[in-house]
Amino acid sequence: MTRVTEARAAEIFEATKRWGRWGADDERGALNLLTPERALRARGLVRTGQVVSCGRELAVDPAPDNPRPALHHMLVAGDVAEPRRPGLSASADFVGVAFHGMAVSHIDALCHVFVDGQMYNGFPATEVTSLGARRGSISAAFDGIVGRGVLIDVPRHRGVEWLEPGDSITPDDLDRTLEAQGVAAEPGDILLVSTGRDARRAVHGPWDPNTTGLAGLDPECIPWLAERDPSVLGSDGVSDVLPANEHRWPIPVHSCLIVGMGVHLLDNLRLDRLAAACAAAGWWEVQLTVAPLQIRGGTGSPVNPIAVL
Amino acid sequence: MTRVTEARAAEIFEATKRWGRWGADDERGALNLLTPERALRARGLVRTGQVVSCGRELAVDPAPDNPRPALHHMLVAGDVAEPRRPGLSASADFVGVAFHGMAVSHIDALCHVFVDGQMYNGFPATEVTSLGARRGSISAAFDGIVGRGVLIDVPRHRGVEWLEPGDSITPDDLDRTLEAQGVAAEPGDILLVSTGRDARRAVHGPWDPNTTGLAGLDPECIPWLAERDPSVLGSDGVSDVLPANEHRWPIPVHSCLIVGMGVHLLDNLRLDRLAAACAAAGWWEVQLTVAPLQIRGGTGSPVNPIAVL
Amino acid sequence: MTRVTEARAAEIFEATKRWGRWGADDERGALNLLTPERALRARGLVRTGQVVSCGRELAVDPAPDNPRPALHHMLVAGDVAEPRRPGLSASADFVGVAFHGMAVSHIDALCHVFVDGQMYNGFPATEVTSLGARRGSISAAFDGIVGRGVLIDVPRHRGVEWLEPGDSITPDDLDRTLEAQGVAAEPGDILLVSTGRDARRAVHGPWDPNTTGLAGLDPECIPWLAERDPSVLGSDGVSDVLPANEHRWPIPVHSCLIVGMGVHLLDNLRLDRLAAACAAAGWWEVQLTVAPLQIRGGTGSPVNPIAVL
Amino acid sequence: MTRVTEARAAEIFEATKRWGRWGADDERGALNLLTPERALRARGLVRTGQVVSCGRELAVDPAPDNPRPALHHMLVAGDVAEPRRPGLSASADFVGVAFHGMAVSHIDALCHVFVDGQMYNGFPATEVTSLGARRGSISAAFDGIVGRGVLIDVPRHRGVEWLEPGDSITPDDLDRTLEAQGVAAEPGDILLVSTGRDARRAVHGPWDPNTTGLAGLDPECIPWLAERDPSVLGSDGVSDVLPANEHRWPIPVHSCLIVGMGVHLLDNLRLDRLAAACAAAGWWEVQLTVAPLQIRGGTGSPVNPIAVL
């Protein structure tokens, strides 16, 4: 299945590519848009102090969308707590995760994807070695991401509980949803596109996104995004509509946003609770904080983005 | 070495214990103090929009303070990126960490420590099984922690770059430092006590906290803390002064705050950059966000707390 | 589905239980049968020097029979090998595995299974703590297992390529197969029961043993086994026929052999190559060596048993 | 410190290199010497049936010689065994190990070391990718290694309990020790060189081999080895004497044996018990079995070699 021709995807990539925009040596990409001024303005979006997590519980159980489950191992449990003895009586655990994939809420670093052997800003893919990334690593986001988060709640606008797997969101969907929500996307925004995945999963159980698909952005949304100029793009899916195209641009939103535009992506978020909170409040802009683990040379991080309304 | 007698520690524990304060079934402890009102007020602390991380880079290298290094493994690097072929060309990695210890910035869940076979609110230690914690797990903080962070920069007030390992911070230190900073600790605050550990580590290299020690709070600070009623307590050390006492209360701040008072702790933070930012700004209160990974049944999480000034 | 009543399973367990046979403190169980004399006799089974592995390739890919794949991570690959520089140029990797399950060739220690809260020889299950097993661990086999291996090639005798999932092997099957092979089971033997699982998997692909089943021993084989008195029992399945019984004895071969009789089990072996070699040679007894990793407190180990004909 | 000049090491490498000996495509190297005939002859070395492990307990605790400890995590312990309920009551664990290094008994695959960007038989280092080794992996040894093991007990011949760290074993040492033991090294042997490391460690505790050193083979032993033509070389150290040379040949035995000669190495064995058994028996040749885990694309494996006298 193919939603965009190979030629059109290449055309979009070239048209939206912005290498050199922040200098030939830049590794932060659109995070450069997150200026103190924007963080300052984002505080103004806090109107009730309601705090909402946009992360999923860490996926430790095998499932069709989680073929390589995260590891959560107890190192010491309460069974060996020996009361009334010197020495701390404590419990501890180990967590391990290959966070890319379809189950874990995570951020993609700019080195996560390559096009023609190059990552964002033209650094060669070989800068990502078996010892870690020397360029484009998640260290660009070590200081945290704080800005204005705008939820684009497509299912709500369409009047459905969720979009079906494989369903494409068009630029028109984005425009109309934002219009209905009474909010406009601005440069530097952290855009969060809801597809209702969590609601569908709660009803129908998990499915394999590689074969059954995921709702996501039609590739024609990429120029739309380039115009709005977000700092970060997130979704409860993987932003791209799946199944992947069977040509050189399998998931063009990843390729164009990460490689071409230098935009970090947030994948597999949990947006149902944010959607409910926004609908109840009647506004869809929030202060959003993303705090990646500081994995030197990492290609991203598991995250638990926190919205404050 | 012992800084407090066993009897006095037990006395402090009993005097500051608050089981049942939020109900017999409560597992959130002092996180209950983080009401929307307090989150709303915290936004007012954002004055310039400067964002500062309070987390350390994930400790993947062996060191005297890191005998069980975190794992960061590349799963696929740029060496196998094959340009101009169908299929996504991408890099990915795995991260694994036993986050408790002396090297990784992490949050302690309320099930992390036991006193006489019990955790906070009297739940038996055996509720933490080899399959994970059924009570007191980090799920209490899944929604994120957002509040007013107050940095207590003890070395700055004492006019030193750092406190030496084993040095105790007294209630008087806390009072005078806060007074000099022109800020008062209020109920629900996230208190961050700096000892200058990062500065010392940068000059002298890492050391073993178990033998050489860490600067931290004298046990007599515990009643002081109980009066101030913080929601969370953090430090660039482990809050407790080390080496540990050689009796039933090896690290009484852990025992009293976590078990007795239900206060989550933040250990091994990086506070030098926050200290510099606060000193430059001339204020020591910030909006602080902590976003634990959502590890069901977990005893805590690695974190990267984000301050906004 | 149930192949044996709960009452009959309990009866078999009691009838074949041999706690105390090697003393009240014994943790080696039937490994005690592997005397130097038996190892000496086993050398006589080497007639051609043909060496055959009975282990499967480590299962690192998700599959219906492998929901929690093993981890194989490169730590350093050839991409960073820098020729003509001081310092060793080398590659290295990490391997991690939760070896119990349906995919990895492994040995079960005597602490792996409990009946009514007890393991072999009556040690309480609580001797297996969150820190490891204090009783019945795989350390009983640290010195290696060397003895006479006898392949019981049931599919060959039945004239089929494989037994279907859920198919039960009866005591009569075992007798007739051995008779046809011209070999008798003797005390101290390492008995290897082939079901043709590898052949079926090669043709039909992997399946979920928990739902679709596995061929294995009917519970009535347990008294037969108790009479033959093997040191170790192995299979290309998990010895038990699956799906499991829906009562207190879900997999009675595991319960009776491990807990009752103190017999280490070898699960998920690869026996097709041994079967082919034995058929070609015309004999079904071999020198067999099993070399568990020396995991102190472990409940077993991944293994690669080596047969020599 | 340097025990051999860079020029002499290069000369030895060239003089002992045997690329192409078993064909340009060969990946088994000296394992080709382990013919069925040799395995058949090795059975004749079994005279009493005494079985002795040559592996160390898996090193899960931090130590100067173990800066990256192996992971052993209980997945489920006896604390949750619930008697008299349907469902199997069992314990299970996870083991993870970066086995190269100075603490874990392991085998080095032929892809483990490179010289000038090449591995054994001239395959480029880049054949070892971040996804695993495409050439020279441990799969060459998946079928197991069975042959004649010859212990060369140098400390015993020198009349000491152990060789000191940094002490070099010369060709003359090897000759005299073998002569005293009344055994000659033959082509295809698995040579095991004891330095008494375990005895020293038991008395003095662990030390850092990189700085304090390890006893091992003087580089002039390499031509001696090339003449004897072993199938595998092992040691209780790492065969090379340490600290490493500070030039392009830091550990020339590794470079020459693995890369030049195609000989798999066994590092960090435990040889004290084998030494005691051989001394008691009065002979130093055994049947030896090494059974690597079948890690596809792996650079080696943790092992527990089993000797039978």
Kindly report the pTM of this predicted structure. 0.97
Candidates A61, A72, A79: best to mutate against D (most CBs of D within 10 A) is A79
- Residues near C280 by beta carbon (within 8 Å), at least 6 away in sequence: none
| pLDDT tier, D81 (very low <50, low <70, confident <90, very high otherwise) | confident
Beta strand B92-97 with B71-76: parallel, antiparallel or unpaired?
antiparallel
- pLDDT at position A85, please? 67
pLDDT tens column, B6-55: 999 999 999 999 999 999 999 999 999 999 999 999 999 999 999 999 99
As a whole number, mean pLDDT of residues A234-258 equals: 96
Q: How many Å apart are CA B38 and CA D80, to the nearest integer?
A: 41
- pLDDT at position B81, please? 84
Is the Cβ pair A126, C79 closer than 8 Å? yes
CA C55 to chain centre: 10
Task: State how far residue D158 is from chain C, nearest Cα, in angstroms.
Answer: 28
- pLDDT at position C84, please? 64
Say whether pLDDT at A86 is over 90: no
- pLDDT at position C82, please? 75
Is the Cβ pair D75, A73 closer than 8 Å? yes
- pLDDT at position A84, please? 63
Q: Which of chain D's residues have a Cβ under 8 Å away from the Cβ of B74?
A: 130
- The number of C-beta contacts closer than 8 angstroms across B and D is 34
- Residues near D125 by beta carbon (within 8 Å), at least 6 away in sequence: C78, C79, C81, C83, C89, C91, D114, D117, D118, D119
Candidates D60, D61, D79, D93: best to mutate against A (most CBs of A within 10 A) is D79
**pLDDT, mean over chain D:** 96
Task: State how far residue A67 is from chain C, nearest Cα, in angstroms.
Answer: 6
- pLDDT at position B1, please? 63
pLDDT tens column, C253-283: 999 999 999 999 999 999 999 999 999 999 9
Task: State how far residue D54 is from chain C, nearest Cα, in angstroms.
Answer: 8
- Residues near D252 by beta carbon (within 8 Å), at least 6 away in sequence: D4, D9, D12, D13, D219, D222, D240, D245
Say whether pLDDT at D232 is over 70: yes
Question: Which candidate, D289, D188, D32, places its Cα nearest to that of C307?
Answer: D289
- pLDDT at position D2, please? 76
Q: Which chains touch C (3 or more CB pairs under 8 A)?
A: A, B, D
Say whether pLDDT at D189 is over 90: yes
Q: How many Å apart are CA D165 and CA D155, to the nearest integer?
A: 13
| pLDDT tier, A68 (very low <50, low <70, confident <90, very high otherwise) | very high
- The number of C-beta contacts closer than 8 angstroms across A and C is 33
- pLDDT at position A50, please? 98
pLDDT tens column, C82-103: 766 677 799 999 999 999 999 9
- Residues near A49 by beta carbon (within 8 Å), at least 6 away in sequence: A308, A309, B35, B36, B37, B38, B39, B40, B41, B42, B43, B146
Facing A77 at nearest CB: one of D71, D79, D94? D79
Task: State how far residue C105 is from chain A, nearest Cα, in angstroms.
Answer: 19
Q: Are A94 and D70 in contact (CB under 8 A)?
A: no
Q: Which of chain B's residues have a Cβ under 8 Å away from the Cβ of C73?
A: 73-75, 94
Task: State how far residue A267 is from chain C, nearest Cα, in angstroms.
Answer: 21
The larger pLDDT score, comparing residue B87 to residue D120, is at D120
Q: What percent of chain B has pLDDT over 90?
A: 96
pLDDT tens column, A162-217: 999 999 999 999 999 999 999 999 999 999 999 999 999 999 999 999 999 999 99
pLDDT tens column, D241-257: 999 999 999 999 999 99
As a whole number, mean pLDDT of residues D184-202 equals: 98
Say whether pLDDT at D82 is over 80: no
Q: Quick one: closest CA in D to A81, which residue? A: D79
| pLDDT tier, B4 (very low <50, low <70, confident <90, very high otherwise) | very high
Is the Cβ pair D69, B74 closer than 8 Å? no
Is the Cβ pair B114, A71 closer than 8 Å? no
| pLDDT tier, B156 (very low <50, low <70, confident <90, very high otherwise) | very high
| pLDDT tier, A82 (very low <50, low <70, confident <90, very high otherwise) | confident
| pLDDT tier, A1 (very low <50, low <70, confident <90, very high otherwise) | low
Q: Quick one: closest CA in D to A93, which residue? A: D73
Is the Cβ pair A83, B116 closer than 8 Å? yes
Q: Which of chain C's residues have a Cβ under 8 Å away from the Cβ of B94?
A: 71, 73
Is the Cβ pair A68, C76 closer than 8 Å? no
**pLDDT, mean over chain C:** 96
- pLDDT at position B82, please? 75
- pLDDT at position D193, please? 98
The contact set of B with D (CB < 8 A) is 62, 67-69, 74-77, 79-80, 126, 129-131
Q: Which chains touch A (3 or more CB pairs under 8 A)?
A: B, C, D
Task: State how far residue D102 is from chain A, nearest Cα, in angstroms.
Answer: 20
The H or E element spanning position B277 is helix B272-281
Is the Cβ pair C67, A68 closer than 8 Å? no
H helices present in B21-99, as ranges: 36-43
Is the Cβ pair B67, D68 closer than 8 Å? no
As a whole number, mean pLDDT of residues B91-120 equals: 97
The contact set of D with A (CB < 8 A) is 71, 73-75, 77-79, 94, 129-130
Task: State how far residue B306 is from chain A, nearest Cα, in angstroms.
Answer: 6
- pLDDT at position C2, please? 77
H helices present in chain A, as ranges: 6-16, 36-43, 154-158, 171-181, 197-204, 221-228, 252-253, 272-281
As a whole number, mean pLDDT of residues D122-138 equals: 97
Candidates A60, A71, A95: best to mutate against D (most CBs of D within 10 A) is A71
